[in-house]
């Protein structure tokens, strides 16, 4: 079975590296990209199973990206997880209203984060996550 693909879109290199290492260690195929005008084209090229948007990006650009993903033909049902420790309640609501599936505002705990990723992917694709019993 092919490994599930996760695209991390982030402006915070440290946080993105931490997320990337966590996902790769758990058996996912993952990439980090910065938010650019070509991000939608990258999503369509990579065809990920999940997009993780690190909210350290300027919030309006992040919201526009979520909306653009929802409007794209090949990516309209792509699960989107928004993650940022310092997100305010209104930013969480805005991301969910724009089309994100889940917004996390908490310290990064790798096992909890992976459990959430596994849960999103299991519901979205009805497949077993990588690793022994989903780790």
Inside any domain, residue 135: no
What pLDDT band is residue 127 in, cutting at 50, 70 and 90?
low
The rounded distance, in Å, linking the Cα atoms of 71 and 75 is 8
State how many domains the chain has.
1
Round the average pLDDT of the chain to a whole number and report it: 83
The DSSP call for residue 135 is: -
Q: Using the predicted structure, report yes or no on whether residue 47 has a pLDDT greater than 80.
A: yes
Q: Using the predicted structure, report yes or no on whether residue 130 has a pLDDT greater than 70.
A: no
Could you tell me the CATH number of the domain that includes residue 35? 3.40.50.2300
What pLDDT does residue 7 have? 94
The rounded distance, in Å, linking the Cα atoms of 135 and 116 is 12
Q: What is the helix (H) or strand (E) element at residue 19, kind and residue range? A: helix 13-25
Inside any domain, residue 29: yes
Other Cβ atoms closer than 10 A to 88: 12
Inside any domain, residue 72: yes
Phi and psi at 45, nearest 5°, equal -70, -50
Inside any domain, residue 26: yes
Inside any domain, residue 56: yes
Inside any domain, residue 133: no
Domain with 47 in it: 5-126
Inside any domain, residue 132: no
Residue from 88, 20, 80 nearest 51 by CA: 80
What pLDDT does residue 86 have? 77
């Amino acid at each position: 079975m092919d490994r599930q693909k996760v695209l991390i879109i982030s402006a915070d290199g440290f946080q993105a590296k931490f997320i990337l290492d966590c996902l790769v260690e758990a058996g996912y195929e993952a990439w980090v990209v910065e938010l650019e005008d070509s991000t939608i084209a990258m999503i369509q090229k990579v065809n990920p199973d999940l997009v993780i948007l690190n909210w350290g990006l300027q919030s309006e650009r992040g919201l526009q990206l979520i909306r653009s993903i929802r409007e794209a033909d090949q990516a309209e049902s792509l699960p989107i997880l928004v993650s940022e420790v310092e997100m305010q309640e209104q930013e969480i609501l805005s991301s969910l209203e724009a089309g994100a599936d889940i917004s996390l505002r908490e310290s990064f705990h790798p096992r909890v984060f992976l459990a959430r990723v596994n849960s999103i992917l299991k519901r979205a694709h009805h497949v077993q996550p990588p690793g022994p019993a989903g780790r």
